[in-house]
Structure 1
Amino acid sequence: MSSLSQLIKAKRKQRGLTQHDLALKSGLGLRLIREIEQGKTSMRMDKVNQLLALFGMELIPGTKIYDNE
């Protein structure tokens, strides 16, 4: 599972939302919410940012940090 999927799932649970609630609040489909939380690796950045906006966050380019450095 990717760190993005873990983050979104954790934020959703912190707010006491179901996946269905999150889909309704974000305006995204329930299927996409499920796919993101399951670690889907390819998705549109605008959709991810639409979801992250609910948590006051956004996806931005940055330097990759490697675990073994």
Structure 2
Amino acid sequence: MQSANIPSKQVKAIRKQYNLTQIELSKKSGVGLRFVRELEQGKQTLRVDKVNQILNQFGSEVGVVQINIT
């Protein structure tokens, strides 16, 4: 994920909007606390399936986006 900082900011903002701690989100989504922290800190390499486990809690997921190649 080359632009991991964008999803990380979104996940953190959504988590706070739902008044969840990182620990609560970790337990609710079934991923480790360390992964949640790394995601929110913008780690450049992340497992997409785990990112989706977290995003699914908020009705979203990571997917393929068409881009223009010139």
Q: TM-score range by the shorter chain?
A: 0.7 to 0.9
Q: Structure 2: 5+ residue runs without aligned partners?
A: none
Residues 29-58 of structure 1: CA deviation (Å, up to 9, x unaligned):
000000000001101111111110000001
TM-score, normalised to structure 1's length?
Answer: 0.88
CA distance, structure 1, for counterparts of residue 23 and residue 45 of structure 2: 21
Counting matched residue pairs gives 65
Larger RCO, structures 1/2 (Cα 8 Å, 6+ apart): 2
Matched residues, percent identical? 49
Displacement of 1:63 after TM fit? Answer: 3.3
TM-score, normalization: structure 2? 0.86
Unmatched 5+ stretches in structure 1: none
**Which 4+ runs in 1 deviate beyond 4 A?**
none
